[in-house]
Structure 1
């Protein structure tokens, strides 16, 4: 049933661009965990949210092959910049090649390394943030980046339903599920943000910063 609904949804949104379709296919062929790529349904939502915010500065944690970065970059304001962080240096050139082909290369700044090390070095105020990397570090990423988010800025966290594991009994050694649950529980009670969870794909949480 979920696949039928997904197909219905895909048939009622704008078509995927040829560039993004090719990037998605290449990711599935080249990567063992190709399912980590955002894909058209989620990518369309990211594009829409970015266009609604019209950010001058975007921060993405977890570049992967660059699909979500390109979707988010579609909503940048004039002269806007997107910073994207990826810990796996083997993915840098693949993402960069598609950034170049898209014509957005000069507006996307790639950082290679651990987000916990890179975030403190970024002297920016971000209007939009997308968290989609190590689930064990979601909460530490959130706490590090929060002071760098502009008032009224939007934070999006991916995979917050984590294949339904968040409502199942969790093994004590399942650090990724525990990390997601700690993040979900924290932001639910964080009075500095307004929060909503969207049950699309693996779950997305959208937060709006309302106070420091």
Structure 2
């Protein structure tokens, strides 16, 4: 991922944000050492944003599309009530196995259930109304994920989408992935049934609240 702001400014924001717990710092280190594409981790700025949103919103029914090694799931779980539940969709069995070792060691791990398989298939099996969703998976399906999740979300519920600036490529789209994200950002901004805040945190986070 390219830095969208001055790297020194990004680092200053990182250093000036409350650190994640030691277990999550260990998860980062082990992901960097043992897993491919470690840059897929959400990282402190996104993770602490998710934790804070969950802490303020207190969701009971949470969905994550694209779990990877569990950093964002544990960040959200940290802010949730103790009886909350996160369903995590992930297509990499090695990532699920890796993440579970950290879930088992976390006081918040009991809130998390990882499901292997394509997210759109998993969504068809879920009979639940969502309070909070974090979407951070394959970008070509972002419109499909968003539309399905929006149907399942209660009025007042939150949907948080990561990588919505796509390293700035949304400004000059050149591929089908760029076009999907541009279309989705436009749809969200013009939909009277939702309100949103687009944050230029890391690679762009679009925070959407369903109104009705």
Q: Higher RCO, 1 or 2 (CA under 8 Å, sep at least 6)?
A: 2
Any stretches of 5+ residues in structure 2 without a counterpart?
Answer: none
Are positions 1:205 and 2:210 aligned together?
A: no
C-alpha distance in 1, partners of 2:28/2:122? 27
Match of 1:195 in 2: 196
CA drift at 1:184: 1.2
CA distance in 2, matches of 1:46, 1:188: 21
Is the CA contact 1:58–1:128 (under 8 Å) kept in the aligned structure 2? yes
Question: For 1:18 and 1:161, how far apart are their aligned partners in 2?
Answer: 29
**How far apart are residue 169 of structure 1 and its match?**
4.1
| Secondary structure class of the residue paired with 1:74 | helix
* Structure 1 residue 7 displacement after superposition: 2.1
Report the secondary structure of 1:101's partner residue.
Answer: coil
Alignment-derived partner of residue 121 in structure 1 = 125
Q: Give the CA RMSD over aligned residues.
A: 1.3
TM superposition score normalised by structure 2: 0.93
User: Does the CA contact (< 8 Å) of 1:126 and 1:148 recur in 2?
Assistant: yes
Matches within 5 A, 1:38-187: 38-170=42-174, 174-187=175-188
Cα distance in 1 for partners of 2:173, 2:181 equals 14
Match of 1:2 among 2, 6, 24: 6
* CA deviation vs aligned residue, 1:187-211 (integer Å, no higher than 9, x gap): 1222211011100110000000001
- Partner SS for 1:16: coil
Note the alpha carbon deviations across 1:88-125, whole angstroms, 9 max, x for none: 22211101111111133321111111111111211111
**In 1, Cα distance between equivalents of 2:41 and 2:131:** 23
Aligned pairs for 1:10-29 within 5 A: 10-29=14-33
